[in-house]
Structure 1
Amino acid sequence: MEKVAEILAEASAEAVEPRFRALASGEVMEKAPGEVVTVADREAERIIARRLRELLPVPVVGEEAVSADPSLARALHSEPAVWLVDPVDGTSNFVAGRPEFAVMASLVRSGRTVAAWIWQPVTGTAYSAELGSGAWRDGRRLVRAPGPASPAEWRGSVKSRFLDPAEHHRLSTNARAFGTVTPGLRSAGMEYPLIAGGEQEFILYWRTLPWDHAPGSLLVTECGGVSARLDGSPYRPEAPGCEDGLLVAGDQATWDRTREILLGLTA
């Protein structure tokens, strides 16, 4: 567990942090409409992938590698174990000079996330989780305190970027029942720790790329929270395009009530 945390921090120090608010002309490219990638993403992923394979020689499914060759994501279903890597989670924030970005990795065995790591370079905060063993922030076990009892006091995020207009309107209207609802931080590596740390009660995601959600989902569930599809099935890392819709909450009761309110299932 400690070795992977070191790999992420060292790759960040070498390839990511020196370029924060210092990206040169030509170091930012568009990889898809509305999505950017930087030389920091690509260089950090190469470093992390090489060192993870030295630690455990299984396939590495990295965000940038899959962008270049989508077939690499099949390893999630065809291989008994894979590494997942997101070298700069929150690239748009990184490019804009905003501090909400993270470096993440996770280990998936037989379709289930068994270990996860999140490094937040700007604050120097490290999160990790191991299936069945717990979650940690900077080496200290995370224990989530209970949140407020009333949904009118809950804090949450609804990520609506990939929703169609009708669904966006429905969810936005229903979300008025909560105390505070934001559009999120545009970085899963910054958002999931808010649930684990008790600073927020829920997050609704739509698009669920595996490198974005495997680390944080394990972090939350190892703190007693819930990360599940809208039908209630537990989150499992899926290749891009396989499944969408994911609700994350601090506990099962909060998850159930949030789902009822957002989907309009209350009487």
Structure 2
Amino acid sequence: MEKVTEILVEASAEVVEPRFRALAEGEVMEKAPGEVVTVADREAERIITRRLRELLPVPVVGEEAVAADPALALALRDEPAAWLVDPVDGTKNFVAGHPAYAVMASLVRHGETVASWIWQPVTRIAYTAERGAGAWRDGERLTLARAADRPEQWTGILKTRYLPRPQADRLLANAAALGPVEPGRGAAGIEYPLVAGGSHDFLLYWRTLPWDHAPGSLLVTEAGGRSARFDGAPYRPDPLGDAHGLLVASDPEQWDTLRELLLAGI
């Protein structure tokens, strides 16, 4: 666990952090309509990929590698084990000079996330989780408390960008029964730790690309929360990113109430 954290921290220090708020002309590209990538993403992924393979020689499913060859993601389904890498989670924030970005990795075995790592370069905080062993923030174990009794006390994040407009509108209307709700921080590696650390009660996503959600989902569940699809199925990293809808809660019992409230009529 410590070795992977070291790999992420060193790759970040080498090629990501020196370019934060210092990207040169030509170092930001569009890889798909509305999706940007930087030289920092690509260089960090190359470094992390090489070093993870040295640690455990299994396929590496990196966000940028998959952008070039989508078939690489099938290793999450077809191989006994695979690494997942998000070299700069929150690239738009990174490009804009906003500090909400992270460097992330996960280990997937037989389709389930068994270990995960989130490094937040600006705060210098490392989050780690290991299936069956717990969740940690800089070596301090994370244990979530029981949720408050009343839903109007629950705070969270609703990511409605990729939802069809009628469902998004209904979701936001349903959220009036809850406490303060925000649209998100633009980086899963920032948002999931808010729940695992007890600052927020829930997260709701529609699009669930595996490198974005495998690290944080394991972090929250190992801290005592629940991360599940809208039908209640436990989260598993979908190789093609075609599985939509994910509700994350700090308390497993709270999850059921949140689904009932938020998804009514959707």
SS of residue in 1 equivalent to 2:24:
coil
- State how 1:185-204 maps to structure 2 within 5 Å: 185-204=185-204
SS of residue in 1 equivalent to 2:85:
strand
1:93 lines up with 2:93 in the alignment:
yes
Residue aligning to 1:228: 228
Check the 8 A contact 1:81/1:108 in 2, yes or no: yes
> Which consecutive segments of 4 or more residues in structure 1 shift more than 3 A?
none
C-alpha distance in structure 1 between counterparts of 2:208 and 2:148, whole Å: 28
Residue aligning to 2:246: 246
C-alpha distance in structure 1 between counterparts of 2:132 and 2:55, whole Å: 22
Check the 8 A contact 2:155/2:180 in 1, yes or no: yes
Check the 8 A contact 2:160/2:168 in 1, yes or no: yes
Deviation at 1:85, TM superposition (A): 0.1
Residue aligning to 2:167: 167
C-alpha distance in structure 2 between counterparts of 1:240 and 1:102, whole Å: 22
SS of residue in 2 equivalent to 1:222:
helix
Deviation at 1:106, TM superposition (A): 0.3
| Larger displacement relative to structure 2 (12-21 or 241-250) | 241-250
Residue aligning to 1:147: 147
Deviation at 1:74, TM superposition (A): 0.7
Residue aligning to 1:45: 45
SS of residue in 2 equivalent to 1:244:
coil
Check the 8 A contact 2:135/2:222 in 1, yes or no: yes
Q: Deviations over 1:125-179 (max 9, x none)?
A: 0000000000100011111123322111110111001011100111011011111
Check the 8 A contact 2:208/2:245 in 1, yes or no: yes
1:156 lines up with 2:156 in the alignment:
yes
C-alpha distance in structure 2 between counterparts of 1:213 and 1:172, whole Å: 22
C-alpha distance in structure 2 between counterparts of 1:63 and 1:252, whole Å: 30
Check the 8 A contact 1:146/1:198 in 2, yes or no: no
C-alpha distance in structure 2 between counterparts of 1:146 and 1:93, whole Å: 32
Residue aligning to 1:135: 135
% identity of equivalent residues: 71
Q: Deviations over 1:57-83 (max 9, x none)?
A: 000000000000001001111100000
C-alpha distance in structure 1 between counterparts of 2:243 and 2:116, whole Å: 21
Deviation at 1:242, TM superposition (A): 2.7
Q: Aligned residues, how many?
A: 265
1:28 lines up with 2:28 in the alignment:
yes
C-alpha distance in structure 2 between counterparts of 1:77 and 1:253, whole Å: 30
Deviation at 1:30, TM superposition (A): 0.6
Residue aligning to 1:7: 7
C-alpha distance in structure 2 between counterparts of 1:246 and 1:27, whole Å: 33
Structure 1: segments with no counterpart, 5+ residues: none
Deviation at 1:241, TM superposition (A): 3.5
Which amino acid in the other structure matches residue 218 of structure 2? L
Check the 8 A contact 2:74/2:240 in 1, yes or no: no
Query: Residues 241 and 2 from structure 1, CA distance in 2 versus in 1: closer, same or farther, beyond 3 angstroms?
Result: closer
Check the 8 A contact 1:147/1:198 in 2, yes or no: no
Structure 2: segments with no counterpart, 5+ residues: none
- State how 1:62-141 maps to structure 2 within 5 Å: 62-141=62-141
| Larger displacement relative to structure 2 (237-246 or 40-49) | 237-246
Q: Deviations over 1:170-228 (max 9, x none)?
A: 10110111110100101000000011011000000000000000000000000110000
Check the 8 A contact 2:156/2:201 in 1, yes or no: yes
C-alpha distance in structure 2 between counterparts of 1:174 and 1:85, whole Å: 34
C-alpha distance in structure 2 between counterparts of 1:264 and 1:244, whole Å: 17
Check the 8 A contact 2:147/2:251 in 1, yes or no: no
Q: Deviations over 1:86-105 (max 9, x none)?
A: 00000000000000000000
C-alpha distance in structure 2 between counterparts of 1:160 and 1:86, whole Å: 22
